[in-house]
Amino acid sequence: MGLDAVEIVMNVEDHFGISIRNDETECVLTVGDLVALIQSRIDAAQIAACPTLTSFLRLRSSVRELTNDLMLRIRTGTRVVDMLNRTQRRQLWAQLDDILGTAAPGLRRPAILRKLLGFSATTTFVIAFLASVAIDVAILPLTLALAAGATLALQIITIPLRSIPPDTAATFGAIARRMAGISVATKQLHLRTDEEILHELRPIVAATLGTDGSKITRTTRFIEDLGMG
């Protein structure tokens, strides 16, 4: 295989989570041939893959769609906060609810905000107590109720700021293990269609060969049409 072919195969393996032997590429002359090969490897992998691996590949696909980066490299040990911004983390968690079929582990507020809320709650109750003692002990229930209301209001107001995954879902590998334990047993694994594979394959081939992805079809020939070396 030429260098272009080797690079395409490596990128395809990384993107689709499959392994392609050198002898399997000898019959790949068109993009359609590669789509068929990828489909066959995915089908085989779906049967043989462990639930956690399958869940991780599905999760990785979702993250790449969120970031609009189909070549994004994600490892099982990659921390979610290092890969996704606050908005993207919330979007991913919304998807996890659908994938898991149950509520995902709740996102937390940033550590500094949790400390501030704790300090604020303590201070509010102390002030309420001291004010009641100084003015009239009889109003203590009222001041404590007001303090509780203020504390609850702060908790509600800061709900949109929840964006930090809990320790049990801090990495993509941890999320995949949870997905494998909950969803794989009750939901069918995602099987890509030929059209989905072609859609995902186009940017890989285009980026590798420096060509226009919109012109890549099933019948496009790697050597004659794309000049692959």
Backbone φ, ψ for residue 160 (5° rounding): -60, -15
Tell me, what's the pLDDT at 184? 38
Which residues, 6 or more positions from 110, have their beta carbon under 8 angstroms from its beta carbon? 161, 163, 164
What pLDDT, in 10s, does the model give residues 186-225? Answer: 333 355 788 889 999 999 999 988 888 888 999 999 988 8
Tell me, what's the pLDDT at 186? 37
Tell me, what's the pLDDT at 173? 87
What pLDDT, in 10s, does the model give residues 92-101? Answer: 998 887 766 6
What pLDDT, in 10s, does the model give residues 7-65? Answer: 898 888 888 878 888 888 888 999 999 999 988 887 766 655 566 777 788 888 889 98
pTM of the model: 0.50
DSSP for 143-208, written as a single string = HHHHHHHHHHHHHHHTGGG--BPPGGGSBHHHHHHHHHHHTTTTSPPP---HHHHHHHHHHHHHHH
Percent of the chain at pLDDT exceeding 70: 88
Tell me, what's the pLDDT at 47? 52
